[in-house]
Amino acid sequence: MDKYLVSPNPHVHAAVSSDSLMRDVIIALLPAIVVSVVFYGWSELLVLAVGALSCVLLEYVIARWLMKDLHLFSGSSALVTGLLLSMNLPSTTPWWVVFIGAIVAIGVAKMSFGGLGQNVFNPAITGRVFLLVSFPTYLTHWEIPGGLWGADAVTGATPLGAIKEGLMQGGTVQDIMAANGYSYGQMLFANLGGSAGEISAIALLLGFVYLLVRRVIKPHITLSIWATVFVFAGIMWLINPARFTDPVFNLLTGGMILGSCFMATDYVTSPMSDKGGIIFGVGIGLIAMLIRYFGSYPEGVSFAILIMNAAVPLINRFCHQKKFGRA
């Protein structure tokens, strides 16, 4: 009898692990990664490679030599952070800026809190926001897609940036849109300036659907962000279409899709309950739109997610599952 295992129930386990979940997230990011490399070319590949490799390497170094516990190293999770960080940066970002972003994402935002599962703020967004306020020139100038084999890359502003700029100079939303020739088709299929992860809504949505089908994430957070943005932007746009951009534009531009599908849904930094997820999503949608409409930055999704990250412990405290047989 001594050769058989004896332990309490359950005696079997679902075919799911932290690594398999992270693998699914990476698979979900692939369409957007492919599209961004095709449109931005080799420089984008370099940004992605530097981001991914440095995040994994830094996590390993910190876990092994600073925290002295290799159990705290989670390669798949660090890889996701690295990819998301890179996808939030313009393809023209110098490699050393990406590396500094990785240090902040993994070193400061993740490992200093205790590693996987312990951090309060989304590491990739923390890294990006740190770079945004520290190296604004590198992070706010974008290359209009020239493509992998295309020659004529032109630098310019993102649609959100162009509109903020135009409004400050006294233009109306309609004039600026017309002057730049923006269309929803472009926003869906990658033709506008922006970070790698911002350029193709369709590719990102494909990944989002994959995550839903594989039941890696639930739709509550993402859908409540979209609904809030749509309703809030819709009301403002109806009030003054010359001053405020329309709701569809707001859903398709900037980091809205990437942020709502892949960053706000990060397990560690989002609420545990469905109800909490909806509150979290509404908060992100509102804050992002307030920044876009009234703030000095053209884009507010990153800040909105970070601010709501801070509220997660509070949300968790008040939002619980409905218990069986209890009021």
| Binding segment (CB under 8 A) for another protein, from list 4-12, 43-51, 199-207, 248-256 | 4-12
Among 10, 170, 181, 185, binds another protein (CB under 8 A): 10
Paired tokens of 75? 């390669």
| Cβ nearer to another protein, comparing 68 with 323 | 323
| Binding segment (CB under 8 A) for another protein, from list 2-10, 47-55, 164-172, 232-240 | 2-10
Q: Name which of residues 104 to 123 contact another protein (CB under 8 A).
A: 115-118
Residue 4 binding another protein, by CB under 8 A: yes
| Cβ nearer to another protein, comparing 155 with 321 | 321
Q: Do you find a cis peptide bond into 10, omega within 30 degrees of 0?
A: yes
What's at 304, amino acid-wise? A
Among 9, 3, 17, 22, which residue's Cα sits nearest to residue 266?
A: 22
Gap between the Cα atoms of 147 and 39, Å rounded: 4
Q: How far is the CB of 221 from another protein (least distance, A)?
A: 11
Gap between the Cα atoms of 116 and 54, Å rounded: 17
| Cβ nearer to another protein, comparing 252 with 264 | 264
Residue 68 binding another protein, by CB under 8 A: no
- Binding to another protein by CB under 8 A, coded x per residue (else -) over 282-321, reads --------------------------------------xx
Among 205, 272, 290, 311, binds another protein (CB under 8 A): 272
| Cβ nearer to another protein, comparing 8 with 185 | 8
Residue 45 binding another protein, by CB under 8 A: no
- Rounded alpha-carbon distances, angstroms, from residue 179 to 155, 162, 190: 17, 10, 19
CA angle (198 as vertex; 217, 60 as ends), nearest 5 = 60
Residue matched to tokens 């899709």? 257
Q: How far is the CB of 325 from another protein (least distance, A)?
A: 4
| Cβ nearer to another protein, comparing 18 with 155 | 18
Counting Cα atoms < 13 Å in the Cβ hemisphere of 53 gives 8
| Cβ nearer to another protein, comparing 17 with 174 | 17
Residue 267 binding another protein, by CB under 8 A: yes
Among 92, 141, 273, 307, binds another protein (CB under 8 A): 273
CA 3 to centroid of chain Cα atoms: 49
β partners of residue 282: none
| Binding segment (CB under 8 A) for another protein, from list 17-25, 39-47, 141-149, 239-247 | 17-25
Residues 6+ apart with CB under 8 A from 283: 304, 307, 308, 311
| Cβ nearer to another protein, comparing 120 with 227 | 120
Report the SS3 class of residue 156: strand
Among 7, 137, 169, 296, binds another protein (CB under 8 A): 7
Cβ 263 vs Cβ 84: under 8 Å: yes
What's at 246, amino acid-wise? D
Gap between the Cα atoms of 46 and 293, Å rounded: 34
Residues that bind another protein (CB under 8 A): 1, 4-14, 16-18, 20-21, 71-72, 74, 77, 115-118, 267-268, 272-273, 320-326
